Structure 1
Amino acid sequence: MDWQWLTLTLNQAFTWTLSNSIEASLLVLLILLCQQLGKKHFPIRWHHAVWFLLLWKLAIPWSIDSTISLYNWLPTSPWTSIQETHPPTEPIVLTTEALHPHEFALQPDASLANEASFSWISLLSLIWIGGVAIFAITMTRSAYRLLSQLKNDVFVQDEAILRVFSQCQKQMGITKSIPLRMSPQMTSPALMGIWRPQIWLPENLLDKLNEHELRHIFLHELAHWKRRDIPVNSIMSVLLILNWFNPLLWYAASRMRQDQEMACDALALTYLQETEVPRYGYTMIKMLELYACPKQIRFTAGFSSSKKQVKRRIEMIRHFQKRAYTWTLSGIVVVLALGVFTLTDAKKVLGNEVPFSVPAEGETRSAPDQTSLSIINNLNTPVKAAAAGKVLKAEYDTKTGKGNQVILEHEDGYQTVYSHLEKLEVTAGATVTQGQLIGLLGSTGRSTGPHLAFQILENGTPVDPTKLLENGKTQE
């Protein structure tokens, strides 16, 4: 049982991640579209901030159901039933029978409509968790190796350099102590550390830059700290590990880092005089000349970037204005709209639920767990379809003791289950209408008397039938 619980839990984790990743991909496309359409209208800060919607989507497993959610337009996923199914539990047969002699509490069957797909879902789940382990180990080893190489690097002692750095901190209102260190391993200035931040500079960089150029670099790295970019990059790296199979999310993370650098440029430029803004661009070009191929290190935030990205940053600097780091009303409206439509879950429009009727006449009793009904009556009482649908199963169940059983599939992911029938009146594959005879009430299988065990599943999960039955009445 422990192994079954572990397998089902893994399947649930994978199917949720897969479904969420697909929805997140749609959000990525919308963000890229909005960025393209609003390239000249939205401020630089907006282009990076909008990516926080993606972080929220990937990181938060719960969201509000909404009829205006964009995902209402997506088709129902075939793996949803496994995703939402609870781990199987053993039915307490003795207790149930002792309280209600004619009842038999149905055991939730997670694979009623997924018996064929369950095996490949399990296989994909194992591949997914294996990939998560590989990426997690690889990133952890890479970070550990880098920290081991950097732990003995020297601190900057030059008083003139430290004075410039202190002035930059004071100008930006940063009081936290942030050490400066030199390392031969670095190919670009970079900020590291969430709780104990430090700025690493490439070896001999101080000899190649003048005071103004160093100030530009310090302002940029301190902007990363002021904006809390290291925690953001770390969270995104962890989320990428969980969604390693989605190439669109890897591209989105890369674009997010590019927009992050431009947002830091914009923040740093707000602390410079207007005449000094072009010099900031020259510093960037000089860094590209000195370090043509800077290495991008995870869990860090640096200054240099690729030639293509530098071109984009230089273009931004050419047209920079102080308002480039402020929010606009249109930008706020777009972010709120994207959040409302993409950070909510799909919900069926009210009134579209399948109406169900009580399938047989008799004394109706609810199971203790509220997931099934027992309808007690005489042998051979007619049992009718609670709603129109297709017969998925009509046979004697030898595995769970439910005797003659009929399972119908309905619209919107619903299924109805009729167990312990005396006789079957339909065959698998047939289409039935609401109220059509599908069997006769009986006592087959593990049963102590004539009764119908009735259950409604929503996307594979047993739900309280009394909440879905139409006026709680039996069919005439």
Structure 2
Amino acid sequence: MDWQWLTLTLNQTFTWTLYNSIEASILVILILLCQQLGKKHFPIRWHHAVWFLLLWKLAVPWSIDSTISLYNWLPTSAWASIQEAHPPTERIILASEALHPHESALQPDGSLANEASFSWISLLSLIWIGGVFTFAITMTLSTYRLLSQLKNDVFVQDEAILRVFSQCQKQMGITKSIPLRVSHQLTSPALMGIWRTQIWLPENLLDKLNEHELRHIFLHELAHWKRRDIPVNSIMSVLLILNWFNPLLWYAASRMRQDQEMACDALALTYLQESEVPRYGYTMIKMLELYARPKQIHFTVGFSSSKKQVKRRIEMIRHFQKRAYTWTLSGIVVVMALGVFTLTDAKKALGNEQAFVVPAEGESRRDFTDPTILSIINKLNTPVKAAAAGKVLKAEYNIKMGNQVILEHEGGYQTVYSHLEKLEVTAGATVTQGQLIGLLGSTGRSTGPHLAFQVLENGIPVDPTKLLADIEAKE
């Protein structure tokens, strides 16, 4: 597999991840703002559910273009700073080379080394992928070590405890068999396992809690299972690995966990009588005294939390009402509004889209190595014209691509014209759409007269046939 193709793919993946992470950061700020403003108006369940917008934003690689997307109104696109680290000319040259692996093979290694340019975006991409592997290996090893330590833990045999647990399952309508185990390693109760879910209890916990307190613990852990929090936390952990460089997302994940505990408290409280609600709060205080510093483990959910978080949870319990776990119309409207404005991509207003025309007459074929390269075959010296108005970034000879012209256009687009017989423009010149920029030829590493035409959007090669409405390219 060609290393240049791998480099281009890595650069594209990192660039998309970075851009998506920037947009996700804006969503995090909006979520925190809405939570703060709606602290007394939105139900507890809403405060956790709104974080699913962030999960969607980070996990789904595509979104609908919309003229009302929040990102249309940003003063500067996040792409601008990304492009500054990787100049358009260099970016296009690297893309052109990477997308012509069959031609690269014809070029001597020495020439390739001499033509290689230092790329900041490539360096950042390598640092990013290195961090991804480091975090992935670290999390995997820590999870594996924990599971290895827990595999020999014994199952709870006390009939009284099992009876209380069974009553809690029945009360919550859970028919799945969820084993109870006693752990020497964990410092607080924890629910673990996506497929084979089990509940682990600290070894000394059973002797320090009475039947009512154990019931509160069981209701809370079963609330995690009923809400499917383990898969959610697992997905978030994977997304954090991919976005390890963004501290705001790590903070958001921490806040999401806190809101998750609040939501579980609210769900557990719905199964208690009103007179039992204060006792649930006392159980939490007792758990904090027993396990002041619970160990947070990826891919699990637990009961205890920090003193600050417990204070917040106690305050919620003190004012708890059954409707605290139900949706409100205002909460639904806010979530939908955030989704419409932040889960969509920026799109230019109608009438302002960049329009491209076919740059030369002839038979158009997709390059067999990559569909983003369009080969236009015709006679030598066939006129080649600018596909759109723009500025000439480069007009010079390249040992591999021959005479080459690179134009920059509005909207983050660039077009590349390679293997020209003659150049009719110079770098720095401004051209209009349809203006002559060169003559079709067979210079550089070429097997016959043709124009190698490419379109890049924000530095990423795209299928030119989707922008050229008046062309039908053959495969």
| Bin for the TM-score computed over the shorter chain | 0.7 to 0.9
Return the offset for 1:308.
0.2
Which residue of the partner structure matches residue 224 of structure 1?
A: 224
- The range that moved more, 59-68 or 126-135, is 59-68
Alignment of 1:329 onto 2:329: yes
Aligned to 1:387: 388
Match of 1:372 in 2: 374
Unaligned runs of 5+ in 2: 104-115
- Residue number in structure 1 paired with 2:404: 405
Q: Secondary structure of the equivalent of 1:19?
A: helix
One-letter amino acid matched to 1:202: P
In the alignment, what sits opposite 1:97? none
In the TM superposition, residue 357 of structure 1 has moved relative to its aligned partner by 4.8
Mean Cα deviation higher: 313-322 or 137-146 = 137-146
C-alpha RMSD of the superposition: 3.0
Q: CA deviation at 1:276?
A: 1.0
Is 1:88 the counterpart of 2:99 in the alignment?
Answer: yes
Q: Which moved more, 1:151-160 or 1:420-429?
A: 420-429
Is 1:34 the equivalent of 2:34?
A: yes
Cα distance in 1 for partners of 2:453, 2:154 equals 74
| Separation (CA, whole Å) in 1 of partners of 2:195 and 2:380 | 72
Give the percent of matched residue pairs that are identical in Structure 1 and Structure 2.
Answer: 84
C-alpha deviation, 1:441, in angstroms: 5.8
Equivalents in 2 of 1:393, 1:294: separation in Å?
A: 60
Label 1:320 to 1:445 Cα distance change in 2 as closer, same or farther (>3 A). Answer: same
Q: Deviations over 1:56-77 (max 9, x none)?
A: 1111222222232222334161
Query: What SS does the corresponding residue of 1:412 show, helix, strand or coil?
Result: helix
Does the CA-based 8 Å contact 2:2-2:101 persist in structure 1?
A: no
Equivalents in 1 of 2:455, 2:149: separation in Å? 60
Change (3 A) 1:357 1:408: same
Q: 1:456 to 1:9 in 2, by over 3 A?
A: closer
Q: Offset of 1:345 from its aligned partner?
A: 2.3
Give the conservation status (yes or no) of the 8 Å contact 1:373–1:465: no
Q: Give the CA deviation at 1:420.
A: 4.6
C-alpha change, 1:141 and 1:389, in structure 2 (3 Å) is same
Q: Distance in 1 between matches of 2:449 and 2:4?
A: 32
Residues 350-384 of structure 1: CA deviation (Å, up to 9, x unaligned): 32123345556xx53322458536485785x7655
Deviation at 1:12, TM superposition (A): 2.4
- Tell me how many residue pairs correspond in the alignment: 444
Q: Please report how far the alpha carbon of residue 464 of structure 1 lies from its aligned counterpart in structure 2 after TM superposition.
A: 3.3
Amino acid across the alignment from 2:348: K
Q: What is the distance in 1 between the residues matched to 2:357 and 2:11?
A: 33
Matched letter for residue 405 of structure 1: Q
- Give matches, 1:141-156, under 5 Å: 141-156=141-156
Q: 1:321 to 1:429 in 2, by over 3 A?
A: same
CA distance in 2, matches of 1:72, 1:288: 47
1:209 to 1:41, Cα distance in 2 relative to 1, 3 A: same
User: How far apart, CA to CA, are the structure 2 residues paired with 1:233 and 1:467?
Assistant: 41
Residues 218-247 of structure 1, C-alpha deviation per residue, up to 9 Å, x if partnerless? 111111111111111111111111111111
State how 1:240-251 maps to structure 2 within 5 Å.
240-251=240-251
Whether 1:276 and 2:276 are equivalent positions in the alignment is yes
Q: Which residue of 2 aligns with 1:96?
A: none
Measured after TM superposition, the shift of residue 443 of structure 1 is 5.9
Instruction: Work out the CA distance in 1 between the residues paired with 2:465 and 2:224.
Output: 55
Which piece of structure 1 moves more, 350-359 or 2-11?
Answer: 350-359
* Amino acid across the alignment from 1:220: H
Q: Is the CA contact 1:372–1:456 (under 8 Å) kept in the aligned structure 2? A: no
1:416 maps to what in 2?
415
Q: Contact conserved, 1:456 with 1:465, CA < 8 A, in 2?
A: no
For residue 343 of structure 1, report the CA deviation from its aligned partner: 1.8
> Which residue of 1 is the match for residue 429 of structure 2?
430
**Cα deviation digits, residues 191-239 of structure 1 (max 9, x gap):** 1112221111112212211111111111111111111111111111111
Structure 1 pair 434–137 and aligned structure 2 pair: CA distance change class (3 A): closer
When normalised by structure 2's length, the TM-score is: 0.84
Question: Could you tell me which residue of structure 2 aligns to residue 303 of structure 1?
Answer: 303
Structure 2 counterpart of 1:396: 397
Structure 1 pair 364–205 and aligned structure 2 pair: CA distance change class (3 A): same
**5 Å matches for 1:34-183?**
34-74=34-74, 75=77, 77-78=79-80, 79=82, 88-90=99-101, 119-183=119-183
1:149 CA displacement: 1.7
Classify the secondary structure of the residue corresponding to 1:187: coil
Structure 2 matches for 1:356-367, cutoff 5 A? 356-357=356-357, 363-367=361-365
Q: Distance in 2 between matches of 1:349 and 1:185?
A: 58
One-letter code of the match for 1:141?
A: L
Aligned with 1:237: secondary structure?
helix
Aligned: 1:204 with 2:204: yes
User: Using a 3 Å threshold, how does the CA distance of structure 1 residues 441 and 169 change in structure 2: closer, same or farther?
Assistant: closer
